[in-house]
Structure 1
């Protein structure tokens, strides 16, 4: 079926609007950007220290060494594109990074990595970095909202598919590229989307690198445009455009055009959700629902079985094939296992990092194998991430529990104090001393124009 006619020049419109807004964002949007960037850096520093990709900073040595951009968990610096690749991988490696629910975008894994790397490389101030980071978020969210769920349904991780466009925009904003160069950068980025869900079959760690590769690719797209390469101005629309090829959604460009008309009036970043447990966000509301049952006095030993209603769009990620989800191949693979995470919540009394580093087995595995599921067609996913489950006790009594939407989304925001506490805990666990933690928080949250050199110095305390 031929793609429907859509408004022309979507990348030109995005670039024009973003350039006009850069450096002029409302205070509440900048405040949200500060919290999200701090959260991302805390999660990334912890991932560098103890995550499944610990040691990835070796990429920033040898031929890839040098440059002025911080490499988390290391005393080294690297060229911007290399630092963005390593840092973005660390940020996403623990499945502890933020998500915009409706668009299913893990924006910070791509955009915090890109914005920090480019701003440091160009010796810019933190206020410019935060502004470009926020506008990158607004772009990637709108791309997801223009075609909700379709990229994922076709087997692509949404962030790594759309991320190169947003990362290229961030770079172009920070380096003040002329409009035609920025439009070409986004056009070139259209040759770089990727990131499939093939990793789910064996629990591979490449998933963490997918949004990071989007950051790396977007920065290179912008560099190539500055050097004279041109890219198509209609890269998002038309028969050969991004949405037709990757989402199979000919109506998406027109919806994105509508979304862009609100840029500057409607801000989506403040609605992005912070994660408070380190696993796939689709699992979080189920953990909360089971927690309500357990808080009522039920113990793991009391549970005969659990039955879950799983939104259809989430099934391929956290429930399919069910036998593999019940028995994850590796501790890291358990981050996408609905039954094993629920079993861990019941047996351990919480969901923490040790669930994803301890060997698979024991009471967790036994209960996981007694959890079943069915597909839930009218759940409202992905506009919201809901959960329904039934716990059957050993005596035969059943207890139902449900959660309408995940904690942290637009309707249920996590208080700023909890985000700050999470960041402080993660930075401390990453090896920063109290003075360095205070300095990172002060720069990113309190300083009118964060000093990125001081930030780099504080983060360097976590090297090793």
Structure 2
């Protein structure tokens, strides 16, 4: 089975004053696989591969087991036909989307659209995978809906210009719900107007608080899966004719006015700018480190200085970090907490810890998040020497720039700047880099030979007639 809307993927034909949700609905309904450039399709397949590998790795951690237990309690132990990555037991569609979103995002190793500041794959992919498996749709259907979700999520995030983080909302959960509604609407065969209605509905379900940053709590991990569930729910209500507000983005109490205090028309233009013509999917950054993207420039900077000058922790008197003002609340404050993280998740959102660990070990991997690493006295002592100030040259939010200034015990001042973070569209990880990352992450949870089968199936996704075949490979 395959979806064919027989309409061109353009936003023309709508009144200039049409609500943003209607323009997005028209785009998502009319988009065909043939409309999507080949390089966008190839980029999307690599993002799918990266996400699946991370999900397998997440499944080996305690938080995944606890999440599965919670879902089992809510479902009273009933199984279902939908695949949860790395698990033998099937679940209901909604439970599988919830868990797969948690698994993709659980290690904070998943991709990010820099300017949108959003991990869009973590909600768009589980929603697309769940529905295409359920409806026995093709790989092209999955890719088309998934890419539509990425494109919408990126633009909705861009319109906020980094503002959601400043007022305590997590765009991955908040914006991800709208993208998931678009994905689900597309795959359920909704009309353009019904997809618009789904967005209006999901605006009352979208959520995601950044309060977890105070202690490194686990709630952020749930945000994208919950966004996917919200999107599924919204699409089904819209399909049945449930009436929702049309101006959910630009309205008096729409997304931007309610969450940011303003719905600036100049910013709202970003929601649909060049939609279907310029492809944000190719700008999505794959992470080289399992930590918040805001920390990456500092890890790379100290690794470069360590390599160039043979630095050890004993050589360092102080480390001063220049960081974008829009990133400080997330990874630098409160500084006392960030210098002594209480959990792996806490550490992943700490410039002092990531910087110190990268200088001591020469890398930042999942090993640096294990309990013994978090208690390493050498790393913790070095983290106490890390300070920060606003970087006037930062490229944020389009780039996650950063500069490190190290003063050594023998009086030298060493500097290294990373203006363009690795993984950004102008400095992307190579296909080989992404495949190597997948081999490591998937290898933590896959049976022998399974990772290779999955990689081959994802690479051939645009020729697959039934996504259920791929889903079967994702089970334990």
TM over 0.5: yes
Deviation at 1:51, TM superposition (A): 5.8
Aligned with 2:462: secondary structure?
A: coil
Deviation at 1:259, TM superposition (A): 4.9
Deviation at 1:444, TM superposition (A): 0.8
* C-alpha distance in structure 2 between counterparts of 1:194 and 1:259, whole Å: 19
Q: TM-score, normalised by structure 2?
A: 0.92
Aligned mate of 2:422, from 375, 394, 407 = 407
Give 1:152's aligned residue: 165
Q: TM-score, normalised by structure 1?
A: 0.94
> Does the 8 A contact of 1:60 with 1:83 survive in 2?
no
> Does the 8 A contact of 2:173 with 2:207 survive in 1?
yes
- Answering whether residue 42 of structure 2 is matched by residue 31 of structure 1, we say yes
- Answering whether residue 392 of structure 2 is matched by residue 371 of structure 1, we say no
Deviations 1:311-354 (A, max 9, x none): 11100010001111001122321010111111111222211112
* C-alpha distance in structure 2 between counterparts of 1:312 and 1:153, whole Å: 10
Aligned mate of 1:288, from 300, 307, 330 = 300
Deviation at 1:378, TM superposition (A): 4.7
> Does the 8 A contact of 2:26 with 2:193 survive in 1?
no
Alignment of 1:320-331 (within 5 A): 320-331=333-344
4+ residue runs of structure 1 moved beyond 4 angstroms?
none
> Does the 8 A contact of 2:148 with 2:183 survive in 1?
yes
Alignment of 1:140-219 (within 5 A): 140-219=153-232
Specify every segment of 5 or more residues in structure 1 that has no aligned partner in the other structure, as ranges.
Answer: 1-5
Deviation at 1:447, TM superposition (A): 4.2
Q: CA RMSD in A?
A: 1.7
Deviation at 1:59, TM superposition (A): 4.2
Give 1:444's aligned residue: 458
* C-alpha distance in structure 1 between counterparts of 2:29 and 2:420, whole Å: 34
Alignment of 1:271-286 (within 5 A): 271-286=283-298
Give 2:431's aligned residue: 416
* C-alpha distance in structure 2 between counterparts of 1:291 and 1:74, whole Å: 37
Deviation at 1:126, TM superposition (A): 1.6
Deviation at 1:446, TM superposition (A): 2.4
Specify every segment of 5 or more residues in structure 2 that has no aligned partner in the other structure, as ranges.
Answer: 1-15
Deviation at 1:453, TM superposition (A): 2.6
Aligned with 1:250: secondary structure?
A: coil
* C-alpha distance in structure 1 between counterparts of 2:85 and 2:424, whole Å: 28
- Answering whether residue 354 of structure 2 is matched by residue 344 of structure 1, we say no
Deviation at 1:377, TM superposition (A): 4.4
- Answering whether residue 277 of structure 2 is matched by residue 265 of structure 1, we say yes
- Answering whether residue 471 of structure 2 is matched by residue 459 of structure 1, we say no
* C-alpha distance in structure 2 between counterparts of 1:419 and 1:186, whole Å: 33
Deviations 1:21-53 (A, max 9, x none): 133322211111111011111101110123643
